[in-house]
């Protein structure tokens, strides 16, 4: 991976020349530091201010992509005019958009039952948290003491192993969390592709330059899709990580600094495109 700041001149030229820009951002670990409890996560004030300014620019669309439930994602971000992609792409909302994947909706009762079973199985493990997110389930072990890690994983496997083998769910790992999803061929990458088609009158990605920032395994699908579209992919976190992203930023603080430069470049590009007012009708 190359440092994003080291290529700023080239990237700035690409931003200025792009007619339409789709900025897609994961939230936890990318825009905000990962909190000990999901409910405690906060978007930095400076980052939110810059994103609001970007949302207001013509030809610029901002998308927040997360494993969080859609309602929870909107609560944390709280920026009007943006697009929200929750539950790893299974639900989306934004201007003239309300989407829930139909197969995920049908699988909801079964996964809700699993969430209850998993809560009972983990209730005596300190720090374990089972989060029912409306369409998916998360089993968090960030606050579980090291002495109980093995027990936590044994209990999760005992509870969900048979479901997985029967094809009733998909299981994937995140940062100290196990994600349990409906058995649907869907991910953040497919969600970005779907959203591009929704935003494009001709149903394709023509005219759009896509930027995707993420920090987790679940973002890799979106990195690969964005690379195929010749967009900009940015991994946020340690540099020595195997990832499909082409560029790297160290932390959410660096993301905020880059957004500041991005906002200036995009504002200048918009100002240069405006035709001078002649004062005549």
| Per-residue tokens: 212 | 């995707």
How far is 214 from 25, CA to CA, in rounded Å? 6
Nearest to 24 by CA among 203, 179, 180, 193: 193
Sheet (strand 170-173) strand order: 129-132, 137-140, 177-181, 170-173
CA angle 129, 135, 137 (to 5 degrees): 20
Residues in CB range of 162: below 8 A, 6 or more apart: none
Long-range (24+ apart) CB contacts under 8 A made by 118-127 are 118/156, 118/159, 118/160, 118/180, 121/155, 121/156, 121/158, 121/159, 122/152, 122/155, 122/156, 125/151, 125/152, 125/155
| Per-residue tokens: 202 | 């001709």
Residue 216 among the catalytic residues: no
Set 26, 28, 72, 216: catalytic member: 26
Contact 63, 129 (CB under 8 A): no
Chain-centroid distance of CA 158 in Å reads 30
Positions marked catalytic? 26
């Amino acid at each position: 991976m190359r440092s994003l700041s080291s290529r700023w001149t080239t990237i700035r030229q690409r931003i200025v020349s792009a007619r339409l820009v789709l900025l897609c951002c994961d939230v936890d670990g990318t825009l905000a530091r990962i909190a000990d409890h999901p409910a405690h996560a906060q978007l930095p004030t400076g980052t939110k201010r810059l994103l609001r300014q970007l949302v207001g620019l013509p030809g610029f669309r901002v998308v927040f992509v997360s494993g969080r439930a859609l309602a929870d994602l909107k609560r944390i971000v709280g920026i009007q005019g943006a697009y929200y992609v929750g539950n790893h792409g299974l639900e989306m909302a934004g201007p003239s958009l309300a989407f829930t994947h139909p197969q995920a909706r049908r699988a909801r009762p079964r996964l809700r039952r699993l969430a209850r079973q998993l809560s009972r199985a983990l209730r005596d493990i300190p720090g374990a948290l089972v989060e029912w997110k409306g369409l998916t389930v998360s089993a968090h072990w960030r606050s579980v003491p090291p002495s109980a890690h093995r027990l936590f994983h044994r209990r999760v496997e005992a509870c969900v192993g048979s479901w997985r083998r029967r094809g009733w769910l998909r299981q994937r790992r995140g940062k100290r969390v196990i994600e349990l999803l409906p058995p649907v061929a869907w991910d953040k990458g497919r969600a970005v592709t779907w959203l591009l088609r929704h935003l494009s009158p001709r149903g394709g990605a023509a005219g759009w330059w896509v930027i995707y920032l993420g920090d987790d395994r679940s973002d890799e699908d979106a990195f690969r899709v964005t690379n195929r579209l010749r967009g900009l992919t940015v991994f946020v976190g340690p540099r020595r990580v195997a990832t499909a992203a082409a560029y790297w930023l160290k932390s959410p603080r660096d993301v905020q600094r880059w957004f500041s430069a991005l906002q200036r470049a995009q504002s200048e590009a918009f100002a240069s495109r405006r035709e001078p007012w002649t004062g005549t009708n």
